[in-house]
Amino acid sequence: MAMSTRYLLVAMAVMLGVGAQAQPPAPVASAIVPASECRTASAMIAFDFDGASASACAILGEREFAVLVSPEHAPPINPSPWYAFRYESAGDAPVSITLRYLGRKHRYAPKWNGGGGWRELVADVADDGAAASLNVPGGAGVVAAQEVIGPDDHAAVLRLWSAEAGAPILNLGQSHDGRPVEALRLGRADAPKLVVLLGRQHPPEVTGAIAMQAFVDELVGIAGRDPGLGADTQFLIVPLINPDGAARGHWRANRGSTDLNRDWGDFAQPETRAVKAWLDALTAHVRPVLMIDFHSTTRNLFYVQGDEANAAQQRFLAAWLAGREEDFAGYPFTIEPRNANPGSGTAKNWFYATYDIPAYTYEVADTADRSAARRAAGDLAASLITALEELGR
């Protein structure tokens, strides 16, 4: 959905600091005009790579820029203000950047990668959260709300999993932009129990993607040791269901301006429709028994079924998660039961309502320790196979 003229005018006003609590820095002699790339004699910033935000920038000084962090469509939209850009500069002097948020507040502490891995930067956040200022080292690097994991990264990991496990990569369908919605089928194709794993419905939720990769790494390792995964279980693994959103740096939606985690049931979008079509084509003796949808939020938690859960589902929860909330060093989590809300369009509710199976949302905190999140995910994947036995009784 294109921004309206009024929305663009508001965006420009925010960029230039109109109505902000803090006064904008003094401009250079030339007029400040928002652009998709900003360059001075000694520095530049640009948004020209997969995962970069659809942002505008303005030059405030020789080594000073503003970036407008704006959503992919007009509000209302979830408060997940994603930003990602690269910069280059001559000399060792730092480059100053002010992030200005359109209609939302600062959420993600900036991450910086100068070629040696990601580390967090200190930002001075305005009292009202509408802006944040930071300095980046001279030279070159990428600044982002979270680690940038784009479609090519997901594709590379899929191929590693496929090679290690001897498992086929499936092309379930295409996004609006024509990107493939790819999946891995792990385990025997005739195994009667199917576990569905979904990831990246919401592009900025990178910690969920990090946990999902570690989770699947463990499953692939198990498959390498036991190709039958216990002989009766297979997995459909879709690590990037929203490739357009991830490539375009969206806050929430796909290319169709739709929150995919509100489209389960309507299936108006090609990405969710592709998954459903694959499920509909399953032979009669193969049936989903569990769905896990990986996301990120402000803390580590699992959304699970509430009072509606039947005896087998309750046994599965007890076998897999209950009582383990403090088991993982550096990664405590909570379990929050929520009854299905029919018609809400979430994957959790649709899978439960359609198949009467446990359907969980695996939420990883934005600020989760990455190593701890990976370790916990690997341990949870390892214990999943045994816990699944409760669903076969």
Give residue 28's pLDDT band: very low, low, confident or very high (50, 70, 90).
very low
Please check the confidence at residue 387 and state whether its pLDDT lies above 70.
Answer: yes
Q: Do residues 227 and 257 touch, judged by C-beta distance below 8 A?
A: no
Please check the confidence at residue 3 and state whether its pLDDT lies above 70.
Answer: no
pLDDT on residue 226: 77
Could you give the CA distance from residue 321 to residue 267 in angstroms, rounded to a whole number?
31
Total residues belonging to the chain = 393
Please check the confidence at residue 33 and state whether its pLDDT lies above 80.
Answer: no
- pLDDT tens digit string along 173-206? 999 999 999 999 999 999 999 999 999 999 999 9
Run of H or E including 184: strand 180-186
Q: Strand 84-89 to strand 140-144: parallel, antiparallel, or no bridges (unpaired)? A: antiparallel
Please check the confidence at residue 255 and state whether its pLDDT lies above 80.
Answer: yes
pLDDT on residue 342: 86
Structural domains of the chain, with CATH: 5-144 (2.60.40), 151-392 (3.40.630.10)
Give residue 230's pLDDT band: very low, low, confident or very high (50, 70, 90).
low
Please check the confidence at residue 284 and state whether its pLDDT lies above 80.
Answer: yes
3 state SS of 387: helix
Tokens 């209302």 belong to which residue? 76
- pLDDT tens digit string along 79-102? 999 999 999 999 999 999 999 999
pLDDT on residue 15: 59
Neighbouring residues of 270: CB distance < 8 A, sequence distance ≥ 6: 173, 174, 175, 176, 181, 256
pLDDT on residue 225: 83
pLDDT on residue 34: 62
Cβ atoms within 10 Å, residue 110? 21
Give residue 10's pLDDT band: very low, low, confident or very high (50, 70, 90).
low
- pLDDT tens digit string along 361-376? 999 999 999 999 999 9
Report which of 282, 186, 286, 192 is spatially closest to residue 238, judged by C-alpha positions. Answer: 186
Give residue 36's pLDDT band: very low, low, confident or very high (50, 70, 90).
confident
- Among 31-45, 116-130, 145-159, the range scoring the smallest mean pLDDT is 31-45
Calculate the alpha carbon distances from 245 to 208, 240, 317 in Å: 15, 10, 32
Residue 187 phi/psi, 5° resolution?
Answer: 105, 180
pLDDT on residue 104: 93
Token pair for residue 271?
């990405």
Could you give the CA distance from residue 52 to residue 44 in angstroms, rounded to a whole number?
15
pLDDT > 70 in the chain, percent = 90
pTM above 0.85, yes or no: yes
Please check the confidence at residue 61 and state whether its pLDDT lies above 90.
Answer: yes
- pLDDT tens digit string along 305-329? 999 999 999 999 999 999 999 999 9
